[in-house]
A and B are shown apart, each in its own frame.
Chain A
Amino acid sequence: MPEKSLLSKVKYQLTTHSLTIATFAVIFLVWEVVVQIFNINRVVLPAPSEIATVMLNLQKGYYVPWDKHISVTLFEILAGFSLAAVVGILLAMLIVYSLVLERILLPLIVFIEVLPKIAVAPLLLIWVGYGMEPKIGIAFLIAFFPIVVSTANGLRDVEQDLLDLMSVYGATKTQVFFKVRFPNAVPHIMSGLSIGMASAVIGAIVGEFVAANEGLGFLIVNAQYQLLTAMAFASLFYIAIIGLVLYGAVVAFGNLLKRF
């Protein structure tokens, strides 16, 4: 009965999505109505309609090259995230496989994690300049911790009975890793990656706040100086959209992996 289950699946998806859409629609509607009725100053709180106008560059007086800023921020996020994924998973493997390396690396990793990244940003600027590099660096620094921790947990979280079984089969360390530990860790890694992705978005924006001349974070700072509140909101919405799409992509990738 695959047709039936597919139908119910579609129905379920539709119901949950329509609820999400309805919730947002109601929020924006109330927002719009409140702004219009109480005639709220647009510098304090612009109406959703005005924000949408700016997002689509239909406003009068100024033009925002969204494509340029979005692609800069997107690149910083993806570069920082990819670096964090590779380094995070490798570090987790080192930690799990060597007690000595765990003792050396773990305190360092925790030390980096507890540092407020915004306070590290000026240092990165001094070291690697004012381009995209420090933003990628901060995105990386924020994103790699959850990836290391969840990957290490996943690699460790294997039943002793299963490891005993592998020993009586004479499995090598490599076989235990590829046949048991790694596949076992996949769900953990995916949850680490999804948190890491959300963190990388924050990291890139934080980096742009400190010093930048392009990117969505830069636009928000710029909008603040010029009191272009609608532009700040428009940037914020673009950041949210990027974050949602990227997070969704990681989750979708994880679901895809589940099938194999």
Chain B
Amino acid sequence: MTSPLGIYVSRAFPSYISLKNVSKIFKTKGGAVEALRDVNIDIGENEFVSIVGPSGCGKTTILKIIAGLIQPTTGEVYVRGEKVVNPIRNVGMVFQSPVLLRWRTVLKNIILPIEIKKLNEKYYLEKARYLIELTGLKGFEDKYPYELSGGMQQRVSICRALITDPDVLLMDEPFGALDALTRDQLNRELINIWQHQRKTVVFVTHSVNEAVYLSDKIYVMSPRPGTIIEEVKVDIPRPRNRGDPKFVTLAERILKLLGVEFDA
């Protein structure tokens, strides 16, 4: 199906990823910590969804629950219509730190998932080169992570997440540790990539500006125990302009939802 904007939108699964009444209680030495309470999230196929909220509100926990890395205490999670009980497959993950293997070159880091899945390395080397080109890493294929800037390391980490061509991309504050300029640039590049190879993206951030710039839909969370305060649709055509009055109004509305004590 093609939307009026000319962007391909598939709605094969009305909810590609869904969390139903999910709660999570962590048992620690200091007692039980309620991380999430009654979280309901619905994400359509190829939708770009952000989760914003204050630090420690359980955003990362939601991502790990979607990935099947941890199980919710109550509630259910479905990805592609299947209930999640184990780590899900065909997913790309990007974390706040690039988590690259320091003894591997850029190319070797990107190809790691292929080695693990024992896929045809020759075919994927071609693909890796394409991604390297796409993310502006050309010429750095044989460099080691310590030879790259933080922004470039994060680009490598994004390439690694994309190499298997996953249909779901889970990103946990991927640009949180970068300077503002690099962050804006990578925001643009991410949207560019997403528009070229449509994927369902779940993007965790505590930057409202970033969330409004990137997303189709934003889930706003409360402090711990994390609950969804509101689901905000972003109906601003791309490419978005951060100075656009509609953009600013929406960002202010979300900031208000997050409360005055939120430092954005």
Contact B117 A159 (CB under 8 A): no
- Contacts A179-B112, A179-B115, A179-B116 given; indicate if A168 touches B99 (C-beta within 8 A): no
Assembly CA distance A159 to B88 (angstroms) = 20
Contact B67 A168 (CB under 8 A): yes
- Contacts A161-B95, A164-B93 given; indicate if A169 touches B113 (C-beta within 8 A): yes
Contact A167 B69 (CB under 8 A): yes
Contact A168 B115 (CB under 8 A): no
Q: Give the dominant DSSP class at A's interface.
A: helix
- The listed residue (A159, A175, A183, A186) touching B99 by CB distance below 8 A is A159
A-B contact count, CB below 8 Å? 46
Q: Which residues 24-83 of B have a CB within 8 angstroms of A?
A: 64, 67-69
Q: Is B123 interfacial (CB-CB < 8 Å)? A: no
Q: Is A83 interfacial (CB-CB < 8 Å)? A: no
Contact B67 A170 (CB under 8 A): no
User: In the complex, what's the smallest C-beta–C-beta distance from A37 to chain B, in angstroms?
Assistant: 54
Q: Is A114 interfacial (CB-CB < 8 Å)? A: no
Residues on B with beta carbons closer than 8 Å to the beta carbon of A260: 103
Number of interface residues of A (CB under 8 A): 18
User: In the complex, what's the smallest C-beta–C-beta distance from B23 to chain A, in angstroms?
Assistant: 21
Q: Is B97 interfacial (CB-CB < 8 Å)? A: yes
Assembly CA distance A179 to B115 (angstroms) = 9
Assembly CA distance A260 to B67 (angstroms) = 33
Assembly CA distance A159 to B145 (angstroms) = 16
Contact B115 A165 (CB under 8 A): no
- The listed residue (A159, A162, A168, A180) touching B87 by CB distance below 8 A is A168
Contact A159 B97 (CB under 8 A): yes
Q: Is A106 interfacial (CB-CB < 8 Å)? A: no
Q: Is A72 interfacial (CB-CB < 8 Å)? A: no
Assembly CA distance A186 to B112 (angstroms) = 19
Q: Is A171 interfacial (CB-CB < 8 Å)? A: yes
Q: Is A166 interfacial (CB-CB < 8 Å)? A: yes
Contact B93 A168 (CB under 8 A): yes
Contact A165 B93 (CB under 8 A): yes
Contact A168 B112 (CB under 8 A): no
Assembly CA distance A168 to B87 (angstroms) = 5
Q: Which residues of A contact B (CB under 8 A)?
A: 159, 161-162, 164-171, 175, 179-180, 183-184, 186, 260
Extra contacts, 8 of them, besides A168-B88, A169-B113 (Cβ < 8 A), are A162-B99, A164-B69, A166-B116, A167-B69, A168-B87, A175-B116, A179-B101, A179-B115
**Top 8 A-B pairs, shortest CB-CB distance:** A167-B87, A161-B95, A169-B116, A161-B99, A162-B99, A171-B116, A169-B113, A168-B87
